[in-house]
Amino acid sequence: MSAEIQTVQDYTRITVAPLAGALGAEIFGVDITDVDQETYAEIHQAFLDHSVIFFRDQDLTPEAQMAFGRLFGPLNRHRYVKGMDDYPDVFRIVKEPTDVHHFGNAWHSDLAYEEEPALGTILYGMDVPDAGGDTMFTSLYAAYDALSDGMKRMLADLRIVFTNANTYGKDATRFKTGVAKDMTVAQAPEEKEVLHPVVRTHPETGRKALYLSTTHFSHIEGMTKAESQPLLDQLSKHAVRPDFTCRFKWRPGSIAMWDNRCTMHYAVNDFPEARRIMQRVTLQGDRPF
């Protein structure tokens, strides 16, 4: 382990190395297939403190990934993406060199179209390109904190209508071409809408964050789509300012675990001639407030 790594508090079971100023930290000194209660408590604290945490050189079976996820709570079984035959709570994201579209290639928060969106996501890199295929993350805590007081007051009681139609509806690209065609259910589901606050309070930290997911927006409650779009565009652009973000380069055996309650992420599609295989487990969340 590099001598330059600095801990952020008096951890005794793990070493935490911040990756960027706004969010993100790499965690060293732990095999996540063998986590006792004291080690879990430190990992959980790092997760809350940094919003997205990363591990290197892990060897995960689907069972081990599920077991690690269950330390944080119940797992979510995706409604529209096919799980593994023997492990329906686990699914693989496969992009072949011939695939044009890439799963997650836009700023979003997982399952924002659900009544109870995801608490978190655990993604394991199995086969990753030598260059490209990074994942970007942005802190929606930092995005909220940087708003003017007037904007905060204006947003305080607004709610966004989120929809599954943009990504899983009958006209969604993923049902027509590319990797997602093989991953998703064969038939487009019923299109539904849900309401979530623009500003949510994190249930564990008590901090306020914007709650955005650009791929799942429909409109702002009480406004038309045309009226809503300028504000949604402004918030989306503001939320991904470079000083709110971090970027993670994958290696085989790497893990990213992010908090969907206070982040968005973006899977960069810049590896047209390479294959990429990831394995995902999602943590069930609660209704935002």
Catalytic residue among 174, 216, 261, 265: 265
User: Taking CA 144 as the corner, what is the angle to CA 141 and CA 145, rounded to the nearest 5 degrees?
Assistant: 85
Q: Please choose, from the candidates 62, 82, 51, 95, the residue with its C-alpha nearest in 3D space to the C-alpha of residue 264.
A: 51
Torsion (CA) 4, 49, 237, 100 in degrees, nearest 10: 70
Q: Which of 50, 108, 261, 276 is catalytic?
A: 108
Q: Are 6 and 229 in contact (CB under 8 A)?
A: no
78 is catalytic: no
Which residues, at least 6 apart from 97, have a Cβ–Cβ distance to it below 8 Å? 272, 273, 274, 275
Instruction: Please say if 265 is a catalytic residue.
Output: yes
Neighbours of 231 (CB within 10 A): 18
Q: 110, 202, 219, 259: which is the annotated catalytic residue?
A: 110
For residue 254 the two structure tokens come to: 């790497």
Tell me if residue 127 is catalytic: no
Please confirm, yes or no, whether 216 is among the known catalytic residues: no
254 phi-psi bin (left φ>0, alpha ψ -120 to 50, beta other): beta
> What DSSP character marks residue 184?
B
DSSP 80-142: SBPPPSS-TTEEEEEE-TT----TT-SSB-TTTTSSS--SEEEEEEEE--SS---EEEEEHHH
User: Measured in whole angstroms, how far is the alpha carbon of residue 264 from the centre of its chain?
Assistant: 6
Angle in degrees, CA 261, 265, 270, rounded to 5: 170
Active-site residue list = 108, 110, 265, 280
